[in-house]
Amino acid sequence: MEAVYDWFRVFYQDTGINLTFIYDSYDRNRLIDGFFMTIWLSVICLVLSMVIGVVGAWAQGARSIILRRVVAGYIEFFRNTPPLVQLYFFYFAIGSILPTTENRFGFEEPILGNFAWAVISLSFFAGAFNVEIFRSGVEAVPESTKEAAEALGYTRLQTYLYIVLPLAFRVCLPALNNNLVNLVKTTTLAYAIAVPEMLYMANQIWSDSVNVPEMMTFLLIAYVFLVGVLVWFMNRWERSMRLPGFG
Amino acid sequence: MRKWIKTTAAAAGIAVLASGLAVTGASADVIDDIRKRGKLVVGVKADYAPYGFLDSSGKIIGLEPDLAQDVADTLGVELELVPVVSSNRMQFLEQGKIDLMIATMTDRNDRREVVQIVDPNYYSSGTNILTKGKFAQWEDLKGAPVCGIQGAFYNRKTSEEYGATIVAFKGTAEALTALQQNRCVAFVYDDSFIVSRLGDEDWKGWSMPLPTIDDAPWGLAVKKGEDAFAALMAGMIVNWHTSGRILDLETKYGLEQTPFAKKMHAQFRGVNPSIER
Amino acid sequence: MDMFGKKPVLHGATDLPVLLPAAARLSATAKKERAAGFPLPHLKARHGFWLLAILLLSAGIAEAQSGTPEKQSAFAALINWAPVMLEGFVFNIAISFLAMAIGTGIGAVLGLMQISLLPPVRGGSWFVTQFFRNAPWLVLLFFCMFLLPFEFNLGPVTIPFPDWVKATIGLALPVMANVSEIVRGAVKSLPSGQWEAAESLAFTRRQTLWEIILPQCVKRMLPPWMNLYAILTMATVLASIVGVSEMMTQTGRALAAENRPELLIPFYSFVLICFFAYCYPIAVATRRLERRYQVKL
C-alpha cells in the first residue's frame, strides 16, 4: 500500500492533482468515516421512516379524530417546509427545550446530539410521505380479495400478513423507491448541522488541503455511483415485484 | 454514446479553458487593469464582525474593508468589495475574480504556494476557545465536543493533536447558538474574535482560558506572479504600521489593541517608505 | 373534455381487476414525483397563517428574552434588515427563472433524444439524464460553484460568470435531467396506436412527432413542469451553502452582524413566509391546471 500512497504523492507533485484522501492517512480515514456515516444515516432513516409510515397509516385509519388530525398536521408540516429548515428547526429550536444531562465536563448537555437530530428530522421527513404511501397501498386491496381469503379459512391476522401486506407492498414499491432515493440524496443536508457525513468530511479536507476540484469530482462520482446502484437495484426489484396487468 | 462523448469533451474543454485563463491572466499587469477599469476589486469577509460584516443597508464594513478603501484611494480608483468565505477565497484570487484578498487569512506556507502573500503581515491572531467551563490546557479538551467553523485550518489541529471532536458549522451565528445551548463545551476560533465577544453583555461569565496557540500572522494576498502589485501592497502595509492606522481601526471597531499591531507600529515608526510603484 | 377523458378507470381496463382506485392514485403520484425528482409540496393558504403565527410568537419570545432596553426590539431589527433580505430574495427568483429556462431548453432536447430511434443517441441521452438525476442537488451546486471559471473569453467578447450565474447553472443541471424525463414520460404515455395511425396516414416520423404527439404532450407536461419549478424555487436556498448572496445568505449575515441568537427563529420564519408568498399562487395554479388537463396516465 505504501507504494501506492507514494505514487499519488509523486502524482501530486507532477500534475498538481492532489488526492490527499488516498495518501494522507488522516484524510483517508475521515473520508471513509464520512462514507459510512452517509450509509449509516441512510439506513437508520430508512428503517425508522418505514416504521413511522406503518404506524402513521394505522393511526390514520383509527377511530379517534384527534389522532387522525395529529397525523394530518404532521404530514402537512413535513411536506411543505424545506428539509434544510426542518433540520435547523429541530436541532436549534426543539433541541434546546428538551431535558439535559450532565456530561463529564460538568455541562448541561442536551440529551440528543446532532446525529440523533439528523436521524429524527430526516426520518420524520421521509416518514410523512410513507404514511400516505402505505395508506393508499392498504386501501388498494379490495374487500373481495380479503373475503376470498376468509373463505379459504385464513384468520384475520393471516389475511393481513399473507394477502393484504404483500399486495399493498407491491403497489407501494415504486413510490417507496422514490422516497428512498430522495432520502439518500437528502442526507447531504445533515452537513448544515455538522453531522460528519461524506459532504462534510470532503469539505473539511478541501479546506485543509486546498484541493477543491479533486474533492468535488470525487464527491460527484461517489454520490452518483451510490444513488445509481440503489436506483438500478430498486428498478430491478420493482420489475420483478410488478403486479401483472397493473400500471 | 455520442452524446456522452460530447459531454466529456465539453467538460474537458471547460477545464482547458479555465487553465488557459489562469495562464493568460498572469502575464498582464493587474495594476494597469485596475487603473484602466477604474475599479479595484477586493475580496473580504462579510460574516466576521468586526473585521468584515454587513451593516443594515447591506454594505460590507469593518476593519478590512477600511484597509481596502485605503488601497483604492492610493490607486485613485473606485472600490468594489466581494464577499468571500474561507473555502473559496483563494480560488477567487486564482481565477482573477478579485484583485486583492484581505480576508482574515492566516499566513501559511502551503497557502503561499497557491497565492502570493505580501510581506510584511498586516495583522495577527492566534487560536483560542470561548467557554464557560474550566479548562486549563488544550489537552483538557480530549474527547470533548468543540464547535468550530467550516474551513478553519485549526479544526484539524484541535482534533488531531488535542483529541477534541470538532463540530463545524457554516457560520458564527450557528456555532454560537450551538455553544449557548451547550451542544459543545467550547468554541475554537480566532482569539481576536473571541476577545471582541467577551466585551459583550451577553457573554458575561464566559472566558478565554487557554494559552493562545498558533499565534500566526494574517496575510493579504494577490495573485501569483503579480510582483508589482505585491510591491505596492508591501508599501501600503508598512505605511499602515508606521502611521498606526491598524491601531486606530482596532479602536474604531471596539477591539483591544493587539500586541502584534503595537509591536509592528513600534518597529516601523520613523521609517517612511515610498509607496510609489 | 378531451379524447382521453372518457377512458374507463385503470383497474377496469386491465386484465386482472384486482386493485382499487387507491392503487391507481398511488401509482400516479409515484410517477409524478419520479418526474419531478423530489417529493412535491402541498401548499395551502392556512400554512401562510401558521408561518405568520410562528414569526410573531418567536419575535415575542425574543423580546421577552432580550430584556435590556438599549437593544433594538426583534421587530425593529427585522424591519431594519428586511430590505437587505428581500434584495437577496430577488436573487432567488432570478436564479429560479434562469435555471428553469436553461434546464427546460436543454432538457427538452435531451428528452427528445431519449426517444430517438438511434441507439447511441438514445443511450447517451439516457446516461446524461440518469447521471444528473442521481446526483444530489447540493453536490452539483458545489461542483459548478468551484469549478466553473469566473468569466469566459470568446475572442474579443468576455462573458462574466458571477457567483449567482454559476449557481444557476448548478441548479439548471438537475432541472435539465428532470425535464428530460418529463418529456420522455409524456411521449411514452400516449398510446402507441397514435403513432401507428399517423404512419398509416403517411405522416413521416418528424411530422407525427411535431404535429400529433408533442401538441398533446404539452398539456401533460405543464403540471409536472410547474411542480418542478416550485421545487427548484425552494432549492435556490441551497445556494446559500455555497456563498451566493441570496436570501438565506443575507439572513445569515444579518444574524452575524446582530449577533443575537434569539433572532434566529423570527428571521428564518420571515424567509419561509417570503417563499410561501411566492410559491403558493404557483401551487394553486398548478392544481387548477392538473384538474383541467386531467388525463389517465
Both B197 and B179 in one domain: the answer is: yes
Greater confidence (C197 vs C21) lies with C197
The amino acid present at B213, given as its one-letter code, is: I
Helix (H, G, I), strand (E, B) or coil at B124: strand
Share of chain A above pLDDT 90, in %: 14
Rounded Cα–Cα distance for residues C269 and C284 (Å) = 22
Q: Which residue has the cell 439535559?
A: A100
Both B238 and B110 in one domain: the answer is: yes
What predicted TM-score, i.e. pTM, was given to this entire model?
0.73
- In the predicted model, what is the mean pLDDT of residues A218-230? 88
* CATH number for position A119: 1.10.3720.10
Containing structural domain, residue B54? 29-122+219-268
Q: Is A174–C31 a contact, with Cβ atoms under 8 angstroms apart?
A: yes
Is residue B124 pLDDT above 70, yes or no?
Answer: yes
Q: Is A79–C39 a contact, with Cβ atoms under 8 angstroms apart?
A: yes
How many other β-carbons are positioned within 10 Å of the β-carbon of residue A120?
19
Rounded Cα–Cα distance for residues B191 and B180 (Å) = 18
Containing structural domain, residue A97? 37-195
The pLDDT value given to residue C20? 67
Is residue A212 pLDDT above 60, yes or no?
Answer: yes
Chain A residues in contact with C275 by the CB 8 A cut-off are 82
A188 touches chain B (CB under 8 A): no
Chain B residues in contact with C124 by the CB 8 A cut-off are 1-6
Is residue C264 pLDDT above 80, yes or no?
Answer: no
Window from A187-201, B216-230, C68-82, C123-137 with minimum mean pLDDT: C68-82
Q: Is B3–C125 a contact, with Cβ atoms under 8 angstroms apart?
A: yes
Q: How confident is the model at residue C1 (pLDDT cuts 50, 70, 90)?
A: very low
Q: Is B144–A105 a contact, with Cβ atoms under 8 angstroms apart?
A: yes
Nearest to A189 by CA among A177, A197, A179, A201: A197
What is C42-64+71-292's CATH number? 1.10.3720.10
Q: Are C281 and C108 in contact (CB under 8 A)?
A: no
Q: Are A230 and A184 in contact (CB under 8 A)?
A: yes
The pLDDT value given to residue C9? 43
Both B195 and B236 in one domain: the answer is: no
Evaluate the CA torsion angle C85, C91, C96, C99 in order and state its sign. Answer: negative
Nearest to C230 by CA among C29, C40, C12, C68: C40
Rounded Cα–Cα distance for residues C214 and C108 (Å) = 11
Share of chain C above pLDDT 90, in %: 16
Q: How confident is the model at residue C123 (pLDDT cuts 50, 70, 90)?
A: very high
Greater confidence (A150 vs B29) lies with A150
Q: Which residue of A lies nearest to B94 if distances are taken between CA atoms?
A: A210
Rounded Cα–Cα distance for residues B93 and B102 (Å) = 11
Q: How confident is the model at residue B101 (pLDDT cuts 50, 70, 90)?
A: very high
Q: Is C259–B180 a contact, with Cβ atoms under 8 angstroms apart?
A: no
Chain C residues in contact with A141 by the CB 8 A cut-off are 19-20
Greater confidence (C159 vs C175) lies with C175
Instruction: Say if strands B145-149 and B186-190 run parallel, antiparallel, or are unpaired.
Output: parallel
C45 touches chain A (CB under 8 A): no
How many other β-carbons are positioned within 10 Å of the β-carbon of residue C46?
9
Average pLDDT score over chain C: 79
Is residue C104 pLDDT above 90, yes or no?
Answer: yes
The pLDDT value given to residue C111? 92
Q: What phi, psi does B148 have (nearest 5°)? A: -155, -175
Question: A25-60 vs A198-209: helix axis angle to the nearest 10?
Answer: 150
Q: How many domains does chain A have?
A: 1
The pLDDT value given to residue C70? 57
Interface test with C, best of A41, A49, A129, A136 (most C CBs within 10 A): A136
Subunits with 3+ C-beta pairs closer than 8 A to C: A, B
The pLDDT value given to residue B21? 39
Q: Is B56–C243 a contact, with Cβ atoms under 8 angstroms apart?
A: no
Greater confidence (A31 vs A105) lies with A31
pLDDT per position as a tens digit, C61-82 = 776 665 555 566 778 888 888 8
Say which of A106, A113, A194 has its CB closest to residue B133.
Answer: A106
Report residue C250 CA to chain centroid gap: 22
Asked, for residue B51, whether it belongs to a domain, the answer is yes
* CATH number for position B37: 3.40.190.10
C:105-144 residues touching chain B, CB 8 A cutoff: 113, 120-121, 123-125, 127-128
Is residue B26 pLDDT above 70, yes or no?
Answer: no
Rounded Cα–Cα distance for residues B151 and A93 (Å) = 25
ipTM of this predicted structure: 0.74
Q: Is B169–A103 a contact, with Cβ atoms under 8 angstroms apart?
A: no
Asked, for residue B14, whether it belongs to a domain, the answer is no
Is residue C100 pLDDT above 90, yes or no?
Answer: yes
Chain B residues in contact with A109 by the CB 8 A cut-off are 182-183
Interface test with B, best of C80, C150, C164 (most B CBs within 10 A): C150
Q: Is C261–B88 a contact, with Cβ atoms under 8 angstroms apart?
A: no
Say which of C128, C150, C256 has its CB closest to residue B47.
Answer: C256
Is residue B2 pLDDT above 60, yes or no?
Answer: no
Subunits with 3+ C-beta pairs closer than 8 A to A: B, C
3-state secondary structure chain A: CHHHHHHHHHHHHHHCCCCHHHHCHHHHHHHHHHHHHHHHHHHHHHHHHHHHHHHHHHHHCCCCHHHHHHHHHHHHHHHHCCHHHHHHHHHHHHHHHCCEEECCCCCEEECCCHHHHHHHHHHHHHHHHHHHHHHHHHHCCCHHHHHHHHHCCCCHHHHHHHHHHHHHHHHHHHHHHHHHHHHHHHHHHHHHHCCCCHHHHHHHHHHHHCCHHHHHHHHHHHHHHHHHHHHHHHHHHHHHHCCCCCC
Nearest to C277 by CA among C52, C12, C116, C29: C52
pLDDT per position as a tens digit, A47-62 = 999 999 888 888 887 7
Subunits with 3+ C-beta pairs closer than 8 A to B: A, C
pLDDT per position as a tens digit, C124-145 = 999 999 889 888 888 888 888 7
Q: How confident is the model at residue B44 (pLDDT cuts 50, 70, 90)?
A: very high
Q: Are B259 and B246 in contact (CB under 8 A)?
A: no
B119 touches chain C (CB under 8 A): no
Domain ranges of chain C: 42-64+71-292
Is residue B237 pLDDT above 90, yes or no?
Answer: yes
Q: Are B1 and C123 in contact (CB under 8 A)?
A: yes
Q: How confident is the model at residue B175 (pLDDT cuts 50, 70, 90)?
A: confident
In Å, what is the CA distance from B195 to each residue of A171, B123, B128, B170, C146? 61, 15, 10, 21, 33
In Å, what is the CA distance from B241 to each residue of A37, B67, B121, B273? 49, 12, 10, 11
Cβ neighbours for C201, distance < 8 A, ≥ 6 positions apart: none
Asked, for residue A188, whether it belongs to a domain, the answer is yes
Q: Are B114 and B94 in contact (CB under 8 A)?
A: yes
The pLDDT value given to residue C69? 56
Q: How confident is the model at residue B119 (pLDDT cuts 50, 70, 90)?
A: confident
Both B182 and B68 in one domain: the answer is: no
The pLDDT value given to residue C3? 39
Rounded Cα–Cα distance for residues C121 and A89 (Å) = 46
Q: Is B200–C245 a contact, with Cβ atoms under 8 angstroms apart?
A: no
Q: How confident is the model at residue C4 (pLDDT cuts 50, 70, 90)?
A: very low
Q: How confident is the model at residue A246 (pLDDT cuts 50, 70, 90)?
A: low
Sheet holding B213-218, edge to edge: B165-169, B145-149, B186-190, B123-131, B213-218
Q: Which residue of B lies nearest to C85 if distances are taken between CA atoms?
A: B58
Q: How many domains does chain B have?
A: 2
Sheet holding B39-45, edge to edge: B78-84, B39-45, B100-101, B221-222, B116-117
Nearest to A210 by CA among A4, A62, A18, A75: A18
Q: Is B4–C254 a contact, with Cβ atoms under 8 angstroms apart?
A: no
Asked, for residue A247, whether it belongs to a domain, the answer is no
A106 touches chain C (CB under 8 A): no
Rounded Cα–Cα distance for residues A179 and A122 (Å) = 11
Q: Which residue has the cell 428503517?
A: A47
Asked, for residue A206, whether it belongs to a domain, the answer is no
How many other β-carbons are positioned within 10 Å of the β-carbon of residue B25?
18
Instruction: Say if strands B213-218 and B123-131 run parallel, antiparallel, or are unpaired.
Output: antiparallel
C131 touches chain A (CB under 8 A): yes
Instruction: Say if strands B52-54 and B47-48 run parallel, antiparallel, or are unpaired.
Output: antiparallel
C80 touches chain A (CB under 8 A): no
Q: Is C136–A185 a contact, with Cβ atoms under 8 angstroms apart?
A: yes
Q: Is B182–A113 a contact, with Cβ atoms under 8 angstroms apart?
A: no
**Number of residues in chain A:** 247
Both B159 and B194 in one domain: the answer is: yes
Rounded Cα–Cα distance for residues A192 and A188 (Å) = 8
The pLDDT value given to residue B204? 80
Q: Which residue of C lies nearest to B59 if distances are taken between CA atoms?
A: C84
Asked, for residue A22, whether it belongs to a domain, the answer is no
A196 touches chain C (CB under 8 A): no
Q: Are B131 and B148 in contact (CB under 8 A)?
A: no
Q: Is B114–A100 a contact, with Cβ atoms under 8 angstroms apart?
A: no
Is residue B22 pLDDT above 80, yes or no?
Answer: no
The pLDDT value given to residue B140? 86
In Å, what is the CA distance from C209 to each residue of A60, A98, A147? 45, 60, 48
Q: Which residue of A lies nearest to B110 if distances are taken between CA atoms?
A: A209
Q: Compute the nearest-CA separation of C202 from chain A (Å).
A: 32
The DSSP code sequence of B51-72 is TEEE-TTS-EESHHHHHHHHHH
- Residue C160: beta bridge partners? C151
Cα angle for residues C154, C156, C162 (degrees, 5° grid):
60
Asked, for residue A8, whether it belongs to a domain, the answer is no
Q: Are B85 and B272 in contact (CB under 8 A)?
A: no
Chain A residues in contact with C127 by the CB 8 A cut-off are none
